[in-house]
């Protein structure tokens, strides 16, 4: 981390801790402690960040939000197995408490993707809350994927196009695939970017859009595959455009 960013995070943490000492409205404390964990993470104090997040999870025993936050912090620290365990517990708690939307987002996001990252496709099939994700899990497992209708919203609209290319090889479906990205986890955006670029590369051509999308991609992609895949994609794009420079 750049020194000025570190100093800024340090100042923010000091101010935050002083505020928490004098705050009278206890309902504001959980959000402030979440901010504390994030700042500790920025400062590289991972164990302390996890400890703060764990205390929040222990206090939040009926909604699952604390567990989900702890899982997110663990993932940010690269503790993938522990993160997967906490995401699973958070999803189960949300489902038990009738928080269907949160349970869905956990299943369709980190639960599916972290299982996929370790090639646990059986779990992908079990947790997939959408026919499209079940079809993807079947394909990854080496089975016949199922035809699913095209969704109208991100990230499922873009993932549907990606899966169509995986099956049919019709790479024209990838043209401008992330131009109208509206919402969705960075992790799904990365899968569409990484897999789409290599599918096009295998077809014998690579368009400039992939370099643009890569430059627009933030650094916080919570997937254990991301660092290696980002490096591989940069090498592929550099090698292709140096050899076949289109401008």
| 123 in Cβ contact with 153 (< 8 Å) | no
CA–CA separation, 121 and 137 (whole Å): 6
Is pLDDT at 24 greater than 80 in this prediction? no
- On average, the pLDDT of the chain sits at 91
Q: Which pair of structure tokens corresponds to residue 149?
A: 């209708």
pLDDT at 244: 56
pTM of the model: 0.89
pLDDT at 6: 64
Whether residue 156 lies inside any domain: the answer is yes
pLDDT at 9: 84
Q: Identify the weakest region by mean pLDDT among 17-21, 51-55, 143-147.
A: 17-21
Is pLDDT at 201 greater than 80 in this prediction? yes
Residue at token pair 């919402």: 183
Number of structural domains found in the chain:
1
Domain that holds residue 245: 150-247
CA–CA separation, 126 and 134 (whole Å): 8
Whether residue 159 lies inside any domain: the answer is yes
Q: Max CA-CA distance within the chain? A: 64
DSSP string, 100-152: HHHHHHHIIIIIHHHHHHTT-HHHHHHH--SHHHHHHHHHHTTSPPPP-PPPS
Whether residue 238 lies inside any domain: the answer is yes
Average pLDDT of 56-71?
A: 88
Average pLDDT of 73-90?
A: 97
pLDDT at 60: 79
Q: How confident is the model at residue 246 (pLDDT cuts 50, 70, 90)?
A: very low
**Residues contacting residue 172 through CB under 8 Å, at least 6 positions apart:** none
Q: Which residue has the higher pLDDT, 198 or 2?
A: 198
pLDDT at 184: 75
Whether residue 213 lies inside any domain: the answer is yes
Whether residue 224 lies inside any domain: the answer is yes
Q: How confident is the model at residue 167 (pLDDT cuts 50, 70, 90)?
A: very high
Is pLDDT at 124 greater than 70 in this prediction? yes
For 222, phi then psi, to 5°, come to -85, 80
For 2, phi then psi, to 5°, come to -60, 145
Coarse DSSP helix, strand, coil percentages of the chain, rounded to the nearest 5 percent: 70, 0, 30
Is pLDDT at 247 greater than 70 in this prediction? no
Q: Could you tell me if residue 119 is left (phi over 0), alpha (psi between -120 and 50 degrees) or otherwise beta?
A: left
Q: Which pair of structure tokens corresponds to residue 66?
A: 């604390």
Whether residue 48 lies inside any domain: the answer is no
Whether residue 196 lies inside any domain: the answer is yes
Whether residue 13 lies inside any domain: the answer is no
| 70 in Cβ contact with 54 (< 8 Å) | yes
CA–CA separation, 41 and 34 (whole Å): 11
Average pLDDT of 41-63?
A: 90
Is pLDDT at 157 greater than 80 in this prediction? yes
């Amino acid at each position: 981390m750049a020194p000025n960013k570190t100093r800024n995070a340090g100042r923010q943490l000091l101010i935050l801790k002083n505020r928490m000492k004098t705050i009278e409205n206890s309902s504001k404390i959980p959000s402030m402690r979440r901010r504390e964990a994030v700042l500790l993470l920025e400062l590289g104090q991972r164990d302390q960040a996890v400890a703060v997040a764990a205390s929040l999870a222990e206090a939040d025993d009926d909604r699952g939000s604390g567990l989900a936050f702890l899982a997110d912090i663990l993932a940010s620290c690269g503790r993938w197995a522990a993160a997967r365990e906490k995401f699973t517990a958070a999803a189960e708690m949300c489902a038990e408490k009738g928080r269907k939307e949160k349970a869905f987002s956990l299943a369709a996001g980190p639960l599916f993707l972290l299982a996929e990252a370790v090639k646990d496709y059986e779990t992908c099939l079990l947790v997939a809350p959408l026919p499209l994700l079940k079809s993807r899990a079947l394909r990854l497992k080496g089975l016949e994927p199922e035809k699913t209708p095209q969704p109208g919203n991100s990230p499922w609209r873009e993932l549907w196009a990606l899966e169509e290319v995986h099956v049919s090889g019709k790479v024209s479906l990838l043209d401008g695939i992330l131009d109208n990205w509206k919402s969705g986890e960075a992790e799904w955006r990365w899968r569409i970017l990484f897999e789409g670029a290599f599918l096009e590369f295998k077809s014998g051509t690579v368009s400039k859009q992939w370099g643009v999308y890569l430059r627009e991609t933030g650094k916080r992609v919570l997937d254990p595959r991301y660092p290696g895949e980002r490096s591989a994609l940069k090498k592929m794009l550099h090698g292709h455009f140096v050899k076949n420079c289109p401008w």
